[in-house]
Structure 1
């Protein structure tokens, strides 16, 4: 079994949930997934990086973040809301203009399967 950690380390009480195959995610494009009761947006970036944040836009409460615009600020990967263009850090979920942020989820890929910890 091979394991590749794709985002920040998860706490030791992590419960990983399989979401999709890594090959199902297109680079620089978001996909929405319902994991338990959580709507998440998954983003695969060049180099095999995968990030997961909440799919609910904090400003409008619409489930649209998976359709956001992938970009970067310096070396930090970002996602801009498709509605009001608020920009969020994909690693931490922080709003770069100081507003309410997105929830960021630990992500890993095991044997080509993307797993997310929604309990973190």
Structure 2
């Protein structure tokens, strides 16, 4: 999928719970958005790269990693890379926070 750098407002910052995934639909894509304990907001495709999938928004957040709720794979919320010994990656999306507005860069 080609992205054009379009800013799409997806949420109000103060309405994003800390350390809990929220799902937003952008086009036909489910995006999981997380506000981390340090206040940074991260976004990635809401699907584990494991062949059986898994909704990442339902996973456990630890630092800047999400644990796949089905297979316990550890995935970086920074770059989407699955941590060894497992392999794979998840599409990540840039986020901009401006005042109370959270924008996904599409």
Shorter-chain TM-score tier: 0.7 to 0.9
Aligned to 1:105: 93
TM-score by length of 1: 0.78
1:85 aligns with 2:72: yes
CA distance in 1, matches of 2:44, 2:17: 16
Partner residue in 1 for 2:40: 49
Give the unaligned 5+ runs of structure 2.
Answer: none
Which structure 2 residues correspond to residues 24-63 of structure 1 after superposition, within 5 A? Answer: 24-59=15-50, 60-62=52-54
CA distance in 2 between partners of 1:35 and 1:61 (Å): 19
In structure 1, list runs of 5 or more residues that go unmatched: 1-12
TM-score normalised by L of structure 2: 0.88
Q: Give the RMSD, CA atoms, in angstroms.
A: 1.3
Tell which has more relative contact order, 1 or 2 (C-alpha 8 A, sep 6+): 1
Structure 1 residue ranges, 4+ long, deviating more than 6 angstroms after superposition: none
| Structure 1: distance between partners of 2:32 and 2:6 | 18
SS of corresponding position for 2:72 = coil
* Alignment counterpart, residue 95 of structure 1, candidates 79, 82, 85: 82
Cα distance in 2, alignment partners of residues 37 and 96 from structure 1: 27
Count, aligned residues: 101
